[in-house]
Amino acid sequence: MNMPNTPQVHVCIATGQNAANFIPIQQYGAQEVWILQTPSMKASADHLALALRQDGRRIERKAFDDASPQAMAQSAESIAEQLDGRHVVLHVTGGTKLMVLALRDGLRLVEAGQGRLDILYAETAKQQIDWLGASPRTEPMIDVMNLQQMLLVQGYRIEGDNRHAAAQQSAQARASLTRKLGDNAALYGKAFSALATLAARAAEPSAAPRELTQTFQYAPGGRLAEMLKDAQSKDLLRWDNEDTVSFTSQETARYLAGGWIEELVLLKLVGMVKPGQFSSNLNVISAGGGSVPNELDAMVVHRNRALLVECKTGRQSNPSAALYKLAQLRDRLGGSVATALYLSAQVLSDEHRQRAAEYRIDVLCGDDVSTLPAWLRSWMGG
C-alpha cells in the first residue's frame, strides 16, 4: 500500500527493535531509505539494511554522533542540508529522546524551501502508525512481514533447506494419528514417556540399524498398547504384543520420540497462516554466518509479530533450562512484541508454570494441548 505522494526519502534511526523501522518502509513503499546509525547501533543498521535490500531499495547509511547534545544538533543539521528541498519522512521510533528532538528541529530546515517533512511513530504493540505534522492521524499497520524478513531484521536467517513441502506431506499422511494424540494428550501422559524413551534411542543419528528394535521394561498394556497399535496401523513400527518394538525407520522413530507434537503444530498452521510466514523444524543462524545453529520447533510471523513454539512430548529432565532458552530465543529472533509458547504433552509442575510466567511464556500442557487451535486463533487476532 503506497501513501499519497510517496516520500522521496525515508529517514529512520537504527535501533535494537528493527521491525518497527521495517514495517512502515514496507507499508508505504519508500524506495530510498537513510539509516542513521550511532556508533553502538552499526550492527543493527547492518541487519536492517540487509532486509531492505531484498526488495531493491536504495539504502544510505549515515553516521550520527550522539556523544553530546551539541554533536547531535550538528549531525541533525548535516542530515538536513543533504535533504534540502526533498519530501522527507522522519521515522522517530528509534533513538533517544534527545536524538529525536535534534532531528525534528534540524529537519524542519527542509521545509524552508520546496521540501516537506512528515513525522511518523510505529507502535508495533498496538499495530498502528501515528503521523505528526501537517496532517496528524493514526493508521493501522498492515501485515507486511514474512518469516524471512523478521529473521533478517533481527540479524538471523534460516540455514539451508528445511524441506517444508516434504514435512507437510509426511504430516498429512499420519494426520489422524497426530490429531488423536493431541486430543488425548493428558490420557497418554505416561505412555508418551515410555514410548518416547525407546524411540529417542532408535532415532539417534549414530544408532545402528539393529537399534531400531528396542525393548520395554515390561510388556505394554492399556494406553501404551493402544498407542502402539495405532502407530503400527500407520506403518510406523512393528509390535507383536510382547515387550519388543521395532521402528520402521529413524524418521518414524523421531516422530514417535516427540516429532508428532511438532507435526500437530504444523497441521494446525497450514491453512491458518499464509505460506512464507511460518516454518517448523528449522535451524536459524546469524545472518553473517559462523554461529552455532539455533534449533526451533516452529516459528510463525503474523501481523508483523513473531511466535516461537517449543514442543515437548516425554518427561522433561530440566524444564527450567528449556523455558529459559525459549525466552532468550523469543527476544533475539522476534523482538519486543514476540510471543513464546511451550507446548507439552506432559503436565508441568506448579513450580515450572510459575517459572514460565516469570519468563512471559504461554504454556499449553496435558489436556490443554487439545486447545491449540483456539489458542492460535486468539494469538492471531490479538
Tell me, what CATH number does 122's domain have?
Answer: 3.40.50.10770
Residues 189 and 41 in one domain: no
pLDDT above 50 for 4: no
Residue 9's pLDDT is 93
Lowest pLDDT segment from 40-49, 113-122, 194-203, 321-330: 113-122
Residues 199 and 112 in one domain: no
Residue 75's pLDDT is 94
Residue 271's pLDDT is 81
Residue 160's pLDDT is 60
Helix (H, G, I), strand (E, B) or coil at 150: helix
Burial of 193 (C-beta count, 10 Å sphere; 0-12/13-18/19+): middle
Lowest pLDDT segment from 63-67, 150-154, 170-174, 224-228: 170-174
Helix (H, G, I), strand (E, B) or coil at 61: strand
Residue 382's pLDDT is 77
d(CA 114, CA 314): 67
Lowest pLDDT segment from 107-111, 144-148, 178-182, 228-232: 107-111
Residue at 1 is within a domain? no
Read off the CATH number of the domain in which 177 is found. 3.40.1350.10
Residues 262 and 347 in one domain: yes
Residues 155 and 33 in one domain: no
Residues 66 and 164 in one domain: no
Residue at 3 is within a domain? no
Residue after which a domain boundary falls, among 114, 144, 174:
144
* pLDDT-derived band at 358, boundaries 50, 70, 90: very high
Rounded percentage of the chain residues whose pLDDT exceeds 90: 64
Structurally, the chain folds into a number of domains equal to 2
Residue 206's pLDDT is 84
pLDDT above 80 for 282: yes
pLDDT above 50 for 231: yes
User: What grid cell was written down for 111?
Assistant: 521545509
Residue 157's pLDDT is 92
Residue after which a domain boundary falls, among 124, 144, 164:
144
Rounded percentage of the chain residues whose pLDDT exceeds 70: 95
Residues 211 and 360 in one domain: yes
Residue at 18 is within a domain? yes
Residue after which a domain boundary falls, among 95, 128, 144:
144
Residues 373 and 303 in one domain: yes
Residues 116 and 199 in one domain: no
Residue 120's pLDDT is 95
Residue at 202 is within a domain? yes
Contacts of 370 (CB under 8 A, 6+ apart): 182, 183, 184, 185
Residues 134 and 172 in one domain: no
Residue range 228-243: average pLDDT?
A: 95
Q: Return the higher-pLDDT residue of 324 and 30.
A: 324
Residue 54's pLDDT is 82
pLDDT above 90 for 339: yes
Residues 126 and 213 in one domain: no
**Structural domain for 82, as ranges:** 9-144
Average pLDDT, rounded, for the chain: 90
Residues 99 and 184 in one domain: no
